[in-house]
Chains A and B, each alone.
Chain A
Amino acid sequence: MERILKVVLVFGLLTFLCFPLNAFSWSYKEAAQPYKGVTIRYITEDTPINLALKEIAIDSFEKETGIKVAWERYPFSILKQKCEMDLFSKAGYYDCMKMYSFMTAMWINGGHVLGLDKFLKNPKLSNPKLGLEDFSQPIWDKMTLKRGSRIGLVYYNYAPIYYGRKDLLNHPAEKEAFKKKYGYDMAPAKTWDQVRDIAEFFTRKKGETLAGEVLADNFYGIVLMGKRHESTNMIWMDWVYTFGGSLLDKNNVPTINSQENIAATEFWKSLWKFSPPGTAEYDYVDILMSLLQGIAAQTINWADFAFPLEIPGKSKLAGRMAYGPIPVDPKHQIGAAIVEGVVPIISSYSKSKEATFLFLQWLSEKQIELKVAQMGLASPVRKAVWKDPSLTSSPFAAIYSAMKESLDNCVLVYGDPNFLGWPMINDYLSITLSEIGTGKKTVKEGLDAAQKEALRVMIPKK
């Protein structure tokens, strides 16, 4: 009996010792040993965050693991074509790529995206200290959990925020005039009604006075995105969802011409008269250019475009901007921000799945996300990064705070794998919004036509 007890004790001790040893001895170097010398191909968008990726993550990963990362960058439209051609042809040339939320249904239903659950459960591959619980909800699950399976790991996201000219909103004479006209104190807008009032108040002709100075050019109360472009659709959806609207009901039936959506779009269209004449051709870069040109008081744009405005010496608006989450409609009080939901995934046809999984883990490490945030390249997703003093005490703290509030209210409209046909509806919507903006169609005509198209695409006649 004593002998049996001794054996059990020794065995238990060994198990106890071995378990933590395994957990704490895990390293990328060791895990990557079988894949040393392997080359994985990562295709990504040609944006500042991906330009900096070599310096932020790739060099260090290659050094640590011996796995080579062949890294390609393209403008979004080309990137999308390359990724989808590679997946749909099952070529497997690229191991890792970004899945934007509107690609979700096509990619998931086609079986093109590798589920990561078996890798996450594999102690040889899975980093026990990765800390998946640190990722902020609801964005983490909305982005990466599809039909109960984890399909990607994240290291950033894009969210839209409100931008306002703090120097104008706080100007004493302007504040006084605003209060006299509208009956309340002017401040960075929290509601759409305030956005409208500020837009109307600051839209002025050349020769009029703005903040004590005579205007040499026209000035606009807001600058909107109106180009026939996917991004215009996404920003427009901020109005739709905050007005209590949506694109699909609970049964996945399109609701594009619902009363809420019509009201939201009427409101969005009503702001066009306070936006510069180029609105119909403006995308996110044009909006930034208009702000930098100093001709607009507010906008709604992706958060990462705020950082160039805050560079002292390079931007005349540095320190003169206010930021906030997407405003709400006073009647509904629904906080909503449409996020892009960019998830790096592994192609089902990858020939180096394990090595690619290690790379995905590396990208989603806290220190990588922190660097991305510190460089002002995108919104973090980890809770620990949001709390990092380098962000909370940064000169960009106002931007981070707006990003955080936006992400807390995030809506991933088409991250649902059941939203099949979205590319066609999205394409049709971008034309419709452009036609509504330029007055070729009324809001009702445009949304009715878009609804008809959505029904045709999503619910085909049998």
Chain B
Amino acid sequence: MRERTQKSKVEIYPYLLIAPSLFALLLLGAYPFIYSVVLSLYDINYAATGTAGHFIGLKNYLEILGDYAFWNSMLLTTVVALIALPLEFLIGFVVANLFNREFMGRKVAVSLILIPSVLAPVLVALIWKFLLAGTWGLLTYGFFNKIGLFKDSSIFGSPGYALIAIVAIDIWEWAPFSALVFLAGLQSLPVRPFEAAAVDGASSWQVLRHHTLPMLSPLFVIMGFIRLIDLFKIFDVIFITTGGGPGTSTETISIFLLRKTFTQWQLGQAAALAVIVFVIFFALCTIFFRIAQRRLKVF
């Protein structure tokens, strides 16, 4: 009997140790989420009533899912993520390989290429606004117009170009960070497999395909995960440069959420939107996770 009590004490002890952290996590993570779910079931529309409203069940979800603007913003966010992520990785990996050899000024160069990634996103947005603004932007006026480009249009004022510019700015900002992470990965790879490959006369492409990429795959997965989450939350650059326009041509899900929340004050719908985005994103992450586990044997 005494032995049993002793055993149960041992079993409870670890849980007691993690209880404070678990409680804090629940308070900070789960409570706001549950509160959002509750809000999403109410007609809270300050713009129309000036006050909070009543329980309406799933009506907010149906409104959001039936709203063209929601699907448009989801599509645009996906397009931005699907174009920006591979390009950031490609550029980052090429740059990492260039820096993975000794040359004069290498350390300074590594620090310099990191500048875009360490700048505050708002500053990044302002820099590009000043560079690409129609007619008075430094690059627009000083370069593009001189070579005959954007004479009768402007980058942030044209639906097609504006989205391309947003993707390009994101790549400019985050490709250096990918380069740094990949460089750290490359430098931590074991030397022997590469020496063996050299002895066997493997070509550079074979070394890359059969050694470097498989060994770096956990890093790719983790980075992909982090950047995908970031890209789905892209906000600052769009908010400052285009505000989601022209029309809704750069309105990603974060901008749409901002409209529903702080512009239109439809808090019930905004909460429903947040829950929908969470569910979609959770499903995507789970699929991503499973693929990484099965195909790449990571995690």
Q: Which residues of A contact B (CB under 8 A)?
A: 77, 80-81, 84, 88, 105-112, 217-218, 226-229, 276-282, 286, 289-290, 293, 295, 420-424, 426-427, 430-431, 434-435, 437-438, 440, 457, 460
Taking CB atoms, residues of chain B closer than 8 Å to A426 are: 263
B46 CB contact (under 8 Å) in A106, A218, A435 = A106
Q: How distant is the Cα of A281 from the Cα of B133 in the complex, in angstroms?
A: 8
Contact B47 A278 (CB under 8 A): no
Closest to A230 in B: B263
Contact A228 B135 (CB under 8 A): no
Q: Can you list 27 pairs linking A and B with CB atoms under 8 Å apart?
A: A106-B46, A109-B49, A110-B50, A111-B50, A218-B151, A228-B242, A228-B243, A228-B246, A229-B243, A276-B135, A280-B158, A280-B245, A280-B246, A281-B157, A281-B246, A282-B157, A289-B136, A295-B135, A420-B50, A422-B47, A423-B47, A424-B48, A424-B264, A431-B244, A434-B246, A435-B247, A440-B246
Contact A278 B133 (CB under 8 A): yes
Taking CB atoms, residues of chain A closer than 8 Å to B140 are: 278
Known A-B contacts A277-B150, A281-B133, A420-B49; A217 and B145 likewise in contact (beta carbons under 8 Å): yes
Known A-B contacts A277-B157, A420-B47, A427-B259; A106 and B134 likewise in contact (beta carbons under 8 Å): no
Among B140, B239, B264: residue with most chain A CB under 10 A: B264
Closest to A218 in B: B151
Taking CB atoms, residues of chain A closer than 8 Å to B150 are: 277
CB distance from B243 to the nearest CB of A (A): 5
Number of A-B contacts (CB under 8 A): 130
Q: Say whether B212 faces chain A, with CB atoms less than 8 Å apart.
A: no
Which 8 A-B pairs rank lowest in CB-CB distance, beginning with the nearest? A278-B134, A109-B50, A228-B245, A280-B157, A110-B50, A278-B154, A281-B157, A281-B156
Contact B153 A277 (CB under 8 A): yes
A431 CB contact (under 8 Å) in B50, B135, B136, B248 = B248
Q: Contacts A105-B50, A295-B135, A438-B159 given; 10 further ones with Cβ under 8 A?
A: A106-B50, A108-B50, A110-B46, A277-B151, A280-B158, A281-B154, A420-B49, A420-B50, A426-B263, A435-B246
Q: Say whether B266 faces chain A, with CB atoms less than 8 Å apart.
A: yes
B238-272: CB near A (< 8 Å → 1, else 0) gives: 01011111111000000000010011111000000
CB distance from B41 to the nearest CB of A (A): 18
Known A-B contacts A277-B154, A280-B157, A423-B265; A107 and B50 likewise in contact (beta carbons under 8 Å): yes
Taking CB atoms, residues of chain A closer than 8 Å to B188 are: none
Taking CB atoms, residues of chain A closer than 8 Å to B141 are: 293
Q: How distant is the Cα of A153 from the Cα of B150 in the complex, in angstroms?
A: 48
Taking CB atoms, residues of chain A closer than 8 Å to B133 are: 278, 281, 286, 289
Q: How distant is the Cα of A126 from the Cα of B203 in the complex, in angstroms?
A: 89
Query: B247-299: which have CB < 8 Å to A?
Result: 247-248, 259, 262-266
Q: How distant is the Cα of A319 from the Cα of B83 in the complex, in angstroms?
A: 50
Taking CB atoms, residues of chain B closer than 8 Å to A276 are: 134-135, 154
Contact B46 A84 (CB under 8 A): yes
CB distance from A121 to the nearest CB of B (A): 27
A278 CB contact (under 8 Å) in B48, B157, B244 = B157
Q: How distant is the Cα of A421 from the Cα of B263 in the complex, in angstroms?
A: 11
Closest to B47 in A: A423
Q: Say whether B200 faces chain A, with CB atoms less than 8 Å apart.
A: no
CB distance from A174 to the nearest CB of B (A): 22
Q: How distant is the Cα of A218 from the Cα of B247 in the complex, in angstroms?
A: 26
Q: How many B residues have CB within 8 A of the partner chain?
A: 38
Q: How distant is the Cα of A229 from the Cα of B46 in the complex, in angstroms?
A: 21
Among A81, A295, A423, A457: residue with most chain B CB under 10 A: A423
Taking CB atoms, residues of chain B closer than 8 Å to A106 are: 46-47, 50, 265
Q: How distant is the Cα of A122 from the Cα of B162 in the complex, in angstroms?
A: 57
Q: How distant is the Cα of A227 from the Cα of B157 in the complex, in angstroms?
A: 8
Q: How distant is the Cα of A282 from the Cα of B145 in the complex, in angstroms?
A: 18
Contact B135 A109 (CB under 8 A): no
Q: Say whether B6 faces chain A, with CB atoms less than 8 Å apart.
A: no
Contact B157 A279 (CB under 8 A): yes
Q: How distant is the Cα of A355 from the Cα of B48 in the complex, in angstroms?
A: 32
Contact A423 B244 (CB under 8 A): no
Q: How distant is the Cα of A245 from the Cα of B261 in the complex, in angstroms?
A: 30
Q: How distant is the Cα of A277 from the Cα of B149 in the complex, in angstroms?
A: 12
Contact A281 B134 (CB under 8 A): yes
Closest to B152 in A: A277
CB distance from B272 to the nearest CB of A (A): 16
Closest to B130 in A: A289
Taking CB atoms, residues of chain A closer than 8 Å to B266 are: 424
Among A112, A289, A434: residue with most chain B CB under 10 A: A434
B28-64: CB near A (< 8 Å → 1, else 0) gives: 0000000000000000001111110000000000000
B218-256: CB near A (< 8 Å → 1, else 0) gives: 000000000000000000000101111111100000000
Taking CB atoms, residues of chain B closer than 8 Å to A421 are: 47-48
Closest to A217 in B: B145
Q: How distant is the Cα of A279 from the Cα of B153 in the complex, in angstroms?
A: 9
Contact B247 A438 (CB under 8 A): yes
Among A105, A217, A438: residue with most chain B CB under 10 A: A438
Closest to A82 in B: B262
B245 CB contact (under 8 Å) in A109, A290, A434 = A434
Q: How distant is the Cα of A420 from the Cα of B266 in the complex, in angstroms?
A: 13
Contact A280 B154 (CB under 8 A): yes
Contact A77 B135 (CB under 8 A): no
Q: How distant is the Cα of A227 from the Cα of B242 in the complex, in angstroms?
A: 7
Taking CB atoms, residues of chain B closer than 8 Å to A282 are: 134, 157
Contact A440 B159 (CB under 8 A): yes
Known A-B contacts A80-B262, A88-B46, A427-B264; A290 and B135 likewise in contact (beta carbons under 8 Å): yes
A277 CB contact (under 8 Å) in B50, B134, B162, B239 = B134
Contact B50 A290 (CB under 8 A): no
Closest to A427 in B: B263
Closest to A288 in B: B136
CB distance from B50 to the nearest CB of A (A): 3
Contact A293 B136 (CB under 8 A): yes
Closest to A438 in B: B246
Q: How distant is the Cα of A430 from the Cα of B133 in the complex, in angstroms?
A: 20
Taking CB atoms, residues of chain A closer than 8 Å to B239 are: 77
Closest to A87 in B: B46
Taking CB atoms, residues of chain A closer than 8 Å to B264 are: 423-424, 427
Contact B51 A110 (CB under 8 A): yes
CB distance from B130 to the nearest CB of A (A): 10
Closest to B48 in A: A421
Known A-B contacts A106-B46, A281-B133, A421-B47; A228 and B157 likewise in contact (beta carbons under 8 Å): no
Contact A431 B154 (CB under 8 A): no
